[in-house]
Amino acid sequence: MVIGSCTISIYLPAAHSLKEKRSAVKSIVARVRNEFNVSIAEVDAQDVWQRAVLGVACVSSSDTYARGQLEAVVRFIEEQRPDLPVLDHEIELL
């Protein structure tokens, strides 16, 4: 069994309040959950307006599949929300 985790840092330039930030993050989280079979949540920087850190996790029998799934999530966010640039992401397999 392989557990894949990914942290994704996102910049939200248009967010001028926590309410605007939560709206954008909620949208991303819902779309990723619907598109991929992964768990996703905001895991850090909850009180910073223009930055969000998302944690994504998946379980697989193949490390290649888990890494590919997490890379696809990052690409999906970059393609679906070009207005919210991905600052950094890190993938770890256990």
CATH number, residue 31: 3.30.70.1120
Return the pLDDT at 48.
87
Instruction: Summarize the confidence of residues 33-61 as an average pLDDT.
Output: 93
How many domains is the chain partitioned into structurally? Answer: 1
Given a contact cutoff of 8 angstroms between Cβ atoms, the answer to whether 53 and 9 are in contact is yes
Share of the chain above pLDDT 90, in %: 88
Q: What percent of the chain has pLDDT over 70?
A: 100
pLDDT tier, 45 (very low <50, low <70, confident <90, very high otherwise): confident
Question: What's the gap between Cα 75 and its chain centre?
Answer: 10
Question: How much is the average pLDDT of 58-85?
Answer: 94
Q: How far is it, in rounded angstroms, from Cα 17 to Cα 8?
A: 20
Structural domain boundaries enclosing 46: 2-93
Please give the Cα distance from 35 to 69 (Å, whole number). 11
Which DSSP category does 16 fall into?
A: -
Burial of 31 by CB count in 10 Å (0-12 exposed, 13-18 middle, 19+ buried)? middle
